[in-house]
Amino acid sequence: MTSRTMLAQEAAAYLGASVDQVRRWTRKGRLNPEKPYGKHGVSLYDTDDLELFKAAEAAEDQVVPI
């Protein structure tokens, strides 16, 4: 897959989450966008980073507590 960047709205759709959830993950440091971008400080998310995040989330969901 060729890496590209996405806005928060696109990243949310890519991850199957809401924009608010993407912003929460960003504030908590779980997602690290490339920012600021331009004069409005728009956050851009790299697709390679989003793929790693999805894999980590899937692995975390499979952990069985003892």
CB 19 within 8 A of CB 56: no
Q: What is the pTM of this model?
A: 0.78
Q: Does domain 5-61 have CATH number 2.102.10.10?
A: no
pLDDT tens-digit profile of 13-35? 999 999 999 999 998 999 999 87
Q: What percent of the chain has pLDDT over 90?
A: 55
Handedness of CA 54, 14, 45, 47 (dihedral sign): positive
CA distances from 13 to 1, 46, 53, 58, 64 (A): 17, 14, 14, 17, 28
CB atoms within 10 A of CB 46: 17
> Domain residue spans in the chain?
5-61
